[in-house]
Structure 1
């Protein structure tokens, strides 16, 4: 088992592995996978039968009055098994198998807001709907996918929803491969259009080809028209107006200019006004500042400093 094997949180409970959740999530290859914890493999309630008799009382007629009867219902362990199976169909990357709201680390107040928005959405989700989704915008390495993963894990394992995760450029690649196998794009988009909750990561990524724009437009349009809940994460800004990124003085190379313009590119320029307008209605917008630190780079820099060898008996500072 991978060393990242752990429960979504460790809020308490007799079991030190799952923290009382009865399931654990681990990284299995390139996917996050859940399983029933060893402490709950054999249910003490139904003794492994998967169902139980429950006594109920109901009045069928005024003359007869209230009558008690027993009915066979699924045990909680059966529901848990179904939810674990559903989680394993979500498609979350293995790198975020550990992701929870509790272990999300923020360096900016805006990151605290992002966590609050995602956590409130997950914990206050109305199964009867409708529910307004959210879109997280910010630089790479700022925990956007982490929050998507924590949200989907809670919805599937604790609330019992059906959800899917897709990284948009990989979705485009999957559809292209499907064409070679004789499949239509609709065969792949169809299930994503109908799933109860869909998380789309890296929104705006790609070459912006007609194929990509048509695919994205169809997917979002179908979910918008059906009033289904959709979550997004993007590296592109949600700001309403472009800021002047072009160098104003001194010498700047062509590459410098391209990088500056790309860093200020807006999401509505990447996806078009039609899609962006629908996002405004479908989601709560949360934007992280451009100077939000990249947690992966910060961790690597810290590890590099602590692993540097000492020279002539003196430590590096």
Structure 2
């Protein structure tokens, strides 16, 4: 990890800490949120002795006659940076279910998922603070790891790079604004902070009733970020296809009412859910990654495997 100090994250014996695996911090599920804390192995910093800053020697040339000169400056210690980044992570408000999400433990079932992981990793590792960066949007069925990749990306940006970021599930944002109205708050007061963070992840894009209130809220949020050149990441269950594809019917062309409803739902496009104005901006703001409709639901696959291979009697099931 880039911000580790010498000797931190290890025991006196030289062994790597089993709690944090040498990362010096721990991310845990606490209620419905993923929260970070400094690991106990790193609370007492051996570098600064708890002062939070260190003297660092620098060399610079202030005059051609004098030549290069050495001098000392006071800089924040790595432990101070770690505490700041842990605090930043806790402002992201990631769901507790993805507390342990990382690029390494993302399981890809097909080439499209592998590409999605690659796009997210490339974005995270190539991101430059302060620069305008193109985000990405992940589309696919439920349970295919879209939120996992959003969480892994934000975790990397915040903990490793100190980027200010936020996560929001769109229907919960609508509910938060409605509650705010009852407390005398305007929608702008809630949207404002989301408009200003360097990277924002919007999950479940397209979800909702499509009411004027929801469309106006989404349009304002994306417009603010688009106009400011800020990076936004998205995940959606709706197709990114630009047009509806023809869906062949049965031999006689007849469909039951339920079949017709299923076909319509399957064919829904993000473009139709968010409108032409927002969709056009998404095309400019993001790299599109679409997962096939037959991509396995990881939650169902895990449950089905567990039911086929239950743990031996007397053994407790480990959390995953």
| TM-score, structure 1 as length reference | 0.90
Q: Post-superposition shift, 1:259?
A: 1.9
SS at match of 2:208: coil
Q: Using the TM superposition, give the Cα deviation of residue 260 of structure 1 relative to its aligned residue in structure 2, in angstroms.
A: 1.7
Does the 8 Å contact 1:84/1:157 carry over to 2?
Answer: yes
Native 8 Å contact 1:50 1:78 kept in 2: yes
Unaligned runs of 5+ in 2: 1-8, 10-14, 313-320
User: How many Å apart are 1:217 and its aligned residue?
Assistant: 0.4
Alignment deviations for residues 122-154 of structure 1 (CA, whole Å, 9 cap, x no partner): 011111311110000000000000000000000
Residue 293 of structure 1 is matched in structure 2 by 296
Which of the numbers 236, 239, 259 marks the counterpart of 2:238? 236
Conservation of the 8 A alpha-carbon contact between 1:245 and 1:261: no
1:33 lines up with 2:42 in the alignment: no
What's the counterpart of residue 189 of structure 2?
187
Residues matched between the structures, number: 299
Deviates more, 1:177-186 or 1:34-43: 34-43
Compare 120-129 and 224-233 and name the one that shifted more: 120-129
Q: What is the aligned partner in structure 2 of residue 314 from structure 1? A: none
| 159-168 or 60-69, which deviates more | 60-69
Matched with 2:63 is 61
1:122: which partner in 2?
124
Q: Matches of residues 4-43 of structure 1 in structure 2 within 5 Å?
A: 14-43=16-45
Asked if 1:277 corresponds to 2:285, the answer is no
Q: Is 1:174 aligned with 2:145?
A: no
Question: Gaps (5+ residues) in structure 1?
Answer: 1-6, 8-12, 310-317
Alpha carbons of structure 1 residues 301 and 250: separation in structure 2 relative to 1, 3 Å:
farther
Partner of 2:143: 141
Deviation at 1:66, TM superposition (A): 3.6
1:113 to 2:133 alignment: no
Alpha-carbon displacement from aligned partner over 1:6-54 (angstroms, at most 9, x marks no partner):
x9xxxxx822222221111110000001111111111110011101111
More displaced stretch, 99-108 vs 247-256: 247-256
Structure 1 residue 63: deviation in Å? 4.5
Q: TM-score, structure 2 length as denominator?
A: 0.89
Pairs within 5 Å for 1:140-219: 140-219=142-221
SS in 1 for 2:91: coil
| Counterpart in the other structure of 1:3 | none
For residue 87 of structure 1, report the CA deviation from its aligned partner. 0.2
Shift of 1:250: 6.9
Name the SS for the 2:201 alignment partner. Answer: strand
Question: What CA distance in whole angstroms lies between the structure 2 residues aligned with 1:227 and 1:152?
Answer: 18
1:64-89 deviations in whole A, cap 9, x for unaligned?
A: 44433222111011011000000001
Match of 1:267 in 2: 270
The answer to which of 39-48 and 284-293 deviates more is: 39-48
What is the DSSP-based 3-state SS (H/G/I as helix, E as strand, rest coil) of the residue aligned with 2:92? Answer: coil
Q: CA deviation at 1:264?
A: 1.1
Secondary structure of the residue that 1:84 maps to in structure 2? helix
Distance in 2 of aligned mates of 1:253 and 1:153: 46
Separation in 1, partners of 2:142, 2:86: 30
* Pairwise CA distance, 1:245: 4.0
> In the alignment, what sits opposite 2:223?
221
Per-residue CA deviations over 1:157-192 (Å, capped at 9, x if unaligned) read 001100000000000000000000000000000110
Distance 1:229 1:43, change over 3 A: same
**Structure 1 Cα separation of the partners of residues 53 and 110 of structure 2:** 48
